Structure 1
Amino acid sequence: MGPLLVAAMAGVIRFWHLGRPRAVIFDETFYAKDAWSLLRLGYEGTWPDRKIADPQLLADPQVISLSDTGTFVAHPPTGKWVIALGEWMFGLTPFGWRFMTAALGTLSVLMLCRVGRRLFRSTFLGCLAGALLAVDGLHVVMSRTALLDLVVMFFVLAAFGCLLIDRDHARARLAAALPVGADGRPRPDEHAADHTGTGPRPWRLAAGVFLGLAASTKWNGLYVLVFFTALTVLWDVGSRRVAGSRRPYLAVLNKGLGWSLLSLVPVAVLTYLATWTGWFLSDDGYGRHWADGRGGTWSWIPAPLRSLWHYEHAVYEFNVGLHTPHKYQSNPWSWLVQGRPVLFDYQSPKPGQDGCRTAVDCSQTVLALGTPLLWWSACGALAYLLFRWALRRDWRAGAILCGVGAGYLPWFLYQDRTIFSFYAVVFVPYLCLAVAMTVGAMLGPPGSDLRRRTLGAVAAGTLVLLIVWNFIWFFPLYTGVTIPYADWHARMWLDTWI
């Protein structure tokens, strides 16, 4: 019941006045329209100029002509198909194109509660991690906006959860093959550790599917695939070592590496290709027939696959070459401290509207800003986890750090590119896990003396309450609530937030 209650709270926050602001905010102008095009054509068609089309879209989407001429897009289709599901149910409206991201945002809170429960073996810490995600401002804003990064976060978290379950099942299978000692517990045995097979691993297959869906939403999912594949191999090595193997890497190579690679990388690639089905079945998708009739070294590969490769290469060149200056772009060094949030929407309500006397009296804002105290606490928590992983060999800390690194570190390769801090939503769940694990350390083990537990509970409770208060304080900036201009300015704690 705990995870369900936390998820219900998250759902209320994310679905409350979801259609507000009634506007096409930030990059919704691309993804909401591409999603509608996928519903109608199976691929991304051509819309009129977005500056002209956006007001018409809100007034009457039927008056905007969608051409069946394929257009060049910078991201794969899965995330837009997810958005399209909401539009199919509720129409081409702000509520419709935001519905599925709000739903996935809510479900991700539920998943994180269960992931934390399995990771820490504590229902309290699992629910705490989910509750922290529920009150993170960046996660709330991305859940209430039809952008792709929240969808990537959902699929990556689902893959992480599947890999945790797979780890538990694989270790249980290996433990069952070990001889039992006089105390009734399994004891290490080199032969069993080296020769016990892993058997079918359906949860690892599921993780491969989810990682393929993440990569087919935005390409940064490919980096997560690399990180998580390495993580699972190291988990398998660790289990063989604990079971008694003197050469655990060789044992994994002989008995488990096939499942590690075949169930993640090839499955992810096949999933990625499957998400392009609409484009493959079309005749007018962008670049669909580029390879038709072309010879050359690679002519033995089917023309549709070569056409897709050519298209994807063009997309790669576009993405790595995107250097157009933007007012709200930021360097990844500043993301953890929320140095430069992104303003998605800002409006000054008309006089007489929402109790505003003049046009400059009030502000209505959607700011992609993480709950500051949560993020600043996470910086300290990550330092603690580095200590636990490097010096205490705590696998839980390593798993969380891997999740953070997979979503964060690759962006340092593109510091000269135009990038934004809201990309960090992909690794927000792992920051919440880091803070929850640190809170668990503050509380101390169950057998600690009463004074130690009391002081830890006071410190941990104070931290959590301050984070919740901080979220409530910034809540109007996350949801487009109209507030006096003075109240908006009071929430601009750093000059870089303006």
Structure 2
Amino acid sequence: MLNRLREHPFLTALLLGLAAQILFLINLGHPAKLMFDEVHYVPAARVLLTLDHAVNQEHPLLAKEIIAAGIALFGDNPIGWRLFSAIAGAATVSGVFAILWQLCRDWRAGVLGAVLAIVNQMIFVQARIGMLDGFLGMFVVLAIAAMLWAMRGPARSVPGRLIVTAVLLGLGVAVKWTAVPYVAFAGMTLLFVRMRDARVAGRPLTTALGDAGQRHWAGIGVVPALLILGLVSITVYFATFLPAFFYAHDALTLRKLIPYQFDMWALQTQVLPAHPYQSDWWGWPIIARPIWYFYEPDMGVWRGVLLIGNPVVMWGGLIGVAACLIGWWRTRSGEALGAAGLWIGSLAIWAIIPKSLGFYYYYYLSSIFLCVALPVSCRLYARGRWRHAGWWYALAAIAMFAYFYPIIAAMPLTGQQSFTHWTWFVAWR
């Protein structure tokens, strides 16, 4: 069975996504009331369904359109609020497998990464809440997989695959502007790899710009490729604003479309008052300040939802990133540099971005990229009698996930002070 699956990576990705989907759907209706930032986005989705006026204007429309579609299809209830988030989480798991498959051409590494993603807890929690970040993660992860798919494709397929990449990137930006740097990263990666190929082949660096004799993204020049990535993603982004042109009050127009972006920028960069759950970007990798999304009585019992990464994955993943960097330094492995670069770049965004407040859920994409770095580091170092170390590590991560499950899945708790069992440090309370 496993040998047959190794020959069908697409089927493997689907099965891993299906397994994640089943897990994410269990008791999706708990809690039965709005939690954390659902109090912003679900009401915004309700208003969007009426096309009455603009709300929650600091973010683009797409994620709220998706939540609104869930409400329209499945009702204004917890399932309607969260079902598409659960689907996005499952797609993200499949995307992790796809990234590792395209990066390493290693089925085992892909499966290991997807398993770690399922139990990294960040995806699980975001898949069960009507927020923006789950959709952001899905589109960015799938865009990275598509970019790698285009990188290795035959010349005739590369433009189409780059278009798919650009569409996904545009959709990511239409969820949250924090996807914008990934459009730039895609272009920078293309140019960097092309120049590296030219240097390795002993050709002038200027040949990296052309379309002939290219090892990666064959048959297309750098300028046409960058135009595809830029123009298609921008077009897709603006297309998601279409419903706003039909608002009953203060409808958007073509003349207002660009000024509206500046209004969004002003809202994004405003100085906000202190928040009890705020945290700094440098504290997210060590889980310095997780967030209670919910902790109160619900349906007659106490329930809690704590956004906290799986310590086995979060802390061990940092070692995985370091191992990838060391492996790249020693071997110049492209896959090691790519895996480490994903995590480093995703965190660097928050060190630069002008936000007055930071929150642990901003670490969402970085936490996913740890699930890429860990399998790649195992490929580099888990040899000989240690060749199964990755799977033993996955078992430890699964056990930790099971330990935290009651407090991340809104399971019935024994009482108001039950949270103390899982909050190892004062800052976790």
TM-score by length of 1: 0.77
Q: Deviations over 1:25-64 (max 9, x none)?
A: 11111211222322331xxxxxxxxxxxxxxxxxxxxxxx
Number of aligned positions between the proteins: 409
Q: Aligned partner of 2:304: which letter? A: T
Question: Partner residue of 1:278?
Answer: 243
Could you tell me how far apart the structure 2 residues matched to 1:220 and 1:83 are? 19
**Matches of residues 93-132 of structure 1 in structure 2 within 5 Å?**
93-132=77-116
Q: Aligned partner of 1:467: which letter? A: A
Question: Which has the larger Rg?
Answer: 1
**Matches of residues 41-440 of structure 1 in structure 2 within 5 Å?**
41=51, 68-71=52-55, 73-169=57-153, 173=155, 201-242=159-200, 244-248=201-205, 250-255=206-211, 256-282=221-247, 284-285=249-250, 288=252, 304-348=253-297, 353-354=300-301, 363-414=302-353, 417-440=356-379
Could you tell me how far apart the structure 2 residues matched to 1:455 and 1:238 are? 32
The percent of aligned pairs where both chains have the same amino acid is 24
Q: Aligned partner of 1:228: which letter? A: A
Q: Aligned partner of 1:251: which letter? A: T
Counterpart secondary structure, 1:263: helix
Q: Deviations over 1:125-173 (max 9, x none)?
A: 101100110111111000000100111110001110111111101xx54
**Matches of residues 9-20 of structure 1 in structure 2 within 5 Å?**
9-20=19-30
Could you tell me how far apart the structure 1 residues matched to 2:340 and 2:128 are? 27
Indicate yes or no: 2:409 matched with 1:495.
no
Q: Aligned partner of 2:237: which letter? A: Y
Could you tell me how far apart the structure 2 residues matched to 1:69 and 1:487 are? 43
For residue 85 of structure 1, report the CA deviation from its aligned partner. 2.2
Q: Aligned partner of 1:156: which letter? A: V
Q: Aligned partner of 1:12: which letter? A: I
Q: Aligned partner of 2:263: which letter? A: A
The change in CA–CA distance for 1:285 and 1:372 in structure 2 (over 3 A counts) is farther
Could you tell me how far apart the structure 2 residues matched to 1:489 and 1:134 are? 25
Q: 2:112·2:390 contact (CA, 8 Å) conserved in 1?
A: no
Q: Deviations over 1:264-303 (max 9, x none)?
A: 11111111111111113445246x3xxxxxxxxxxxxxxx
For residue 487 of structure 1, report the CA deviation from its aligned partner. 4.8
Question: Partner residue of 1:476?
Answer: 406
**Aligned-residue CA RMSD (Å):** 2.1
Question: Partner residue of 2:13?
Answer: 3
For residue 24 of structure 1, report the CA deviation from its aligned partner. 0.6
Q: Aligned partner of 2:414: which letter? A: P
Range with greater deviation from structure 2 (420-429 or 481-490): 481-490
Could you tell me how far apart the structure 2 residues matched to 1:424 and 1:325 are? 19
Counterpart secondary structure, 1:343: strand
Q: Deviations over 1:177-208 (max 9, x none)?
A: xxxxxxxxxxxxxxxxxxxxx88511111111
Could you tell me how far apart the structure 2 residues matched to 1:210 and 1:203 are? 11
Q: Aligned partner of 2:404: which letter? A: F
The change in CA–CA distance for 1:206 and 1:199 in structure 2 (over 3 A counts) is closer
Counterpart secondary structure, 1:201: helix
For residue 259 of structure 1, report the CA deviation from its aligned partner. 2.5
Unaligned runs of 5+ in 1: 42-67, 174-197, 289-303, 355-362, 445-452
Counterpart secondary structure, 1:246: coil
Counterpart secondary structure, 2:76: coil
For residue 415 of structure 1, report the CA deviation from its aligned partner. 7.1
Q: Deviations over 1:373-397 (max 9, x none)?
A: 1100011011111222344221112
Could you tell me how far apart the structure 2 residues matched to 1:199 and 1:470 are? 43
